[in-house]
Amino acid sequence: MNFLSEEQMMWKSSIDRWVDKEIGREYIRQCDMDRVFPYEAYKKAATLGLHRLMIPEADGGDGGDIFSYALMCESLSRYGVDFSVAIAGSTYTAMNLALHGTPEQKKNYLPPFMRGEIQFPISMSEPGAGSDVANVQTRAERQGDHYVLNGQKLWCSGAGNDGAVILMLVRTSKEGARKDGLSAFIIPNTTPGLTIRPLKTLARRSVVTTEIFLDNVKIPADQLLGKEGDGWNIIAGEHLQLERIAVAASYAGNAQGAVDDALRYAKDRVQFKQPIFEFQVIRHMLADMQTQTDAARLLVYRAAEMAAKGQHCRKEVSMAKLFASETLQNVSRMGMQIMGGHGTLPESDMERYFREGMQSTIGAGTSQIQRTVIAQEMRG
Ligand SMILES: Cc1cc2nc3c(=O)[nH]c(=O)nc-3n(C[C@H](O)[C@H](O)[C@H](O)COP(=O)(O)OP(=O)(O)OC[C@H]3O[C@@H](n4cnc5c(N)ncnc54)[C@H](O)[C@@H]3O)c2cc1C
């Protein structure tokens, strides 16, 4: 499939080569098994310039476009979505900072991010605010030149890692307001009053998903991103839009990895004196897997292209996220079937793709929420 320019193909294959030569699937597998953030790879990615790709030139970055970023996410995820999220996920918040940050905030956070010294986990969800993100109850009270935060956040991936600076959605209004009463705060994970506990989730194991308890957490007022009440637009709008494009690209990339692994296995594995690829049922499964993966990739490219051109693409982004995530689920499930017992071992990698496929239709808005968004846009 070749809809890319020469330059885009070179960019994509340079990331493919980097993942194979400098990182390797064994390292990605080990980080997942050990539930450890890939610090070494994160630093190497910074040295290569991956963190600076989309940061505007005025802020010291390369000013690259969303399409190139999506291609990067696709290539980073061949051996796992979690790896792509670990390396490229902080860019969603970095872009919020580039757009809304004060000169001081940009100076404090963008250069260390581009050097690979800090990461930016995002904390929206709470026990009572999952799909209904606007129901956030964690509260920030202004007291002089600072805010005091109390409450509980849930499912924050990466909050406990060394160098994590959390972008958190918090309520600053009194009772009554929903979306308008939310604000975004920049909170280093070393701030006193935070208790961060890792959760033993099915996927997102190397980024490490956590729950966070906030007990009188004192934050200087200049850690507010944008103005009070901007939180919904910054996080549920811009941030989630970029996240959905990035994860959709990663699901398509990982689905291709699953097809490649299953195909290789089907050609190598001999039963009844022939490679199992010779059985029509297996061949047809592989044909379906590649067809669905190509369709997912095309939806991702359309959404990324529209976003890069600044076009309204809420529907197309949700379509890409919905279809790519469900494709990763389907493809990895069929891959498990093709690999038989071998597929259930961590060494086969397919069981990791399968676990990440199960997470893919939940994180960044469930499939049901994506369908709701698509239908809202269709209603006009
Ligand atoms: C491993 C992992 C990592 C995560 N990382 C992060 C993170 O880094 N930061 C962060 O903020 N969050 C994170 N999340 C949270 C994730 O975004 C939420 O889990 C997701 O938005 C769904 O919320 P919920 O789990 O509370 O499910 P619920 O909202 O309770 O949904 C339960 C079911 O009801 C359905 N449902 C709910 N409302 C509707 C509706 N209106 N119409 C139709 N169906 C509906 C859902 O689709 C789902 O099937 C993570 C979650 C997981 C599991």
**Sign, CA torsion 244/121/68/13:** negative
Q: Identify the pLDDT of residue 3.
A: 80
Average pLDDT for 32-45: 98
The rounded Å distance from CA 334 to ligand 1 centre is 25
pLDDT at 2: 60
Cα–Cα dist 120/242, whole Å: 14
Which residues have CB under 6 Å of ligand 1?
Answer: 121-125, 130-131, 155-157, 201, 203-204, 209, 359, 362-363, 365-366, 368-369, 372
Give the residue from 321, 327, 332 showing the smallest Cα distance to 367: 321
153, 214 contact by CB (below 8 A): yes
Instruction: Report pLDDT digits (tens) over 274-331.
Output: 999 999 999 999 999 999 999 999 999 999 999 999 999 999 999 999 999 999 999 9
* Percent of the chain with pLDDT strictly greater than 90: 97
Kindly state the average pLDDT of the residues 194-223.
Answer: 98
User: What mean pLDDT comes out for the span 90-119?
Assistant: 98
**How many angstroms does the Cα of residue 56 sit away from the middle of ligand 1?**
32
For residue 133, the ligand 1 atom closest to its alpha carbon is 21
Q: What is the pLDDT of residue 87?
A: 98
Q: Is residue 166 pLDDT above 60, yes or no? A: yes
| Banded pLDDT at 345 (limits 50, 70, 90) | very high
> Which residue out of 82, 208, 242, 362 has the highest number of ligand 1 atoms within 8 Å of its CB and is therefore the one to mutate?
362
DSSP strands (E only) in 87-172: 122-123, 139-143, 146-157, 165-171
Atom of ligand 1 nearest to the CA of 158: 8
Best residue among 125, 205, 239, 367 to mutate for probing ligand 1's pocket (most ligand atoms within 8 Å of CB) is: 125
Ligand 1 centroid vs 184 CA: distance in angstroms? 20
pLDDT number for residue 56: 98
Distance of CA 299 to the CA centre of its chain: 17
Q: Which residues contact 316 (CB under 8 A, 6 or more apart)?
A: 299, 302, 303, 306
- Residue nearest atom 26 in ligand 1 by C-alpha distance: 130
CATH assignment of 122-230, given 3.40.50.920, 2.40.110.10, 3.30.70.1350, 2.50.20.10?
2.40.110.10
Q: What is residue 174's predicted lDDT score, i.e. its pLDDT?
A: 72
Rounded to the nearest angstrom, the distance between the alpha carbon of 131 and the centre of ligand 1 is 5
Domain boundaries, given as residue ranges, for the chain: 6-114, 122-230, 232-379
**Cα-flanking dihedrals φ and ψ of residue 190, to 5°?**
-90, 0
CA of 208 relative to ligand 1 center, distance in Å? 17
Question: What does the pLDDT average to over 137-148?
Answer: 97
Q: Does the pLDDT at position 84 exceed 60?
A: yes
11, two tokens: 């960019």
Task: Identify which of 90, 137, 366 to mutate to test ligand 1's pocket (most ligand atoms within 8 A of the CB).
Answer: 366
What local confidence, expressed as pLDDT, does residue 109 receive? 98
Best of 32, 124, 126, 131 for a ligand 1 pocket test (most atoms within 8 Å of beta carbon) = 131
Which residue has a Cα nearest atom 38 of ligand 1?
131
- 69 has a pLDDT exceeding 90: yes
pLDDT on residue 177: 81
Helix (H) or strand (E) holding 111: helix 103-114
C-beta separation of 148 from 218 below 8 A: yes
- Point out the ligand 1 atom lying closest to the alpha carbon of residue 203: 1
- What H or E segment, with its residue span, contains residue 225? strand 224-225
Q: Whose CA is nearest to atom 16 of ligand 1?
A: 363
Q: What is the spatial distance between Cα 234 and Cα 343, in angstroms, rounded to a whole number?
A: 41
Q: Residue 133 is encoded by which pair of tokens?
A: 């993100």
Question: What band does 173 get if pLDDT is binned at 50, 70 and 90?
Answer: confident
Cβ neighbours for 67, distance < 8 A, ≥ 6 positions apart: 8, 301, 304, 305, 307, 308
Q: Which residues of 359-378 are buried (b: 16+ CB within 10 A; e: fewer)?
A: bbbbbbbebebbeebbeebe
pLDDT surpasses 80 at 175: no
**Per-residue pLDDT averaged across 176-201, rounded?**
95
Please compute the mean of the pLDDT values over residues 223-233 and round it to a whole number. Answer: 97
Nearest CA to ligand 1 atom 7: 156
Q: Distance between CA atoms of 108 and 82, rounded to whole angstroms?
A: 27
DSSP string, 244-298: HHHHHHHHHHHHHHHHHHHHHHHHH-EETTEEGGGSHHHHHHHHHHHHHHHHHHH
Report pLDDT for 355. Answer: 98
Q: Say how many Å lie between the CA of residue 365 and the centre of ligand 1.
A: 6
Band the pLDDT of 29: cuts 50, 70, 90.
very high
Handedness of CA 168, 181, 129, 303 (dihedral sign): negative
* Structural contact between residues 100 and 234, judged by C-beta atoms closer than 8 angstroms: yes
Report the nearest-CA residue for atom 4 of ligand 1.
155
- Cα separation, 380 vs 377, in Å, equals 5
Q: Please report which confidence band the pLDDT of residue 171 belongs to, taking 50, 70 and 90 as the band edges.
A: very high
Closest-lying ligand 1 atom to the alpha carbon of residue 121: 8
Distances (CA, A) of 289 to 147, 220, 247, 302, 340: 51, 51, 19, 20, 16
Going from the Cα of 281 to the center of ligand 1, the distance in angstroms, rounded, reads 35
Mean pLDDT of 99-123: 98
CA of 120 to the centre of ligand 1 (A): 20
CA angle 54, 102, 225 (to 5 degrees): 85
Please identify, in words, the CATH class of the domain defined by 232-379. Answer: mainly alpha
Query: CATH number for the 6-114 domain, one of 1.10.540.10, 3.40.109.40, 3.40.190.10, 3.40.50.11540?
Result: 1.10.540.10
Of the candidates 15, 28, 22, the one whose C-alpha atom is nearest the C-alpha of residue 352 is 28
d(CA 178, CA 219): 22
- Residue 132 alpha carbon, nearest atom of ligand 1: 29
Residue whose CA is at the smallest distance from ligand 1 atom 2: 155
Q: In ligand 1, which atom is closest to the CA atom of 372?
A: 42
pLDDT at 380: 84
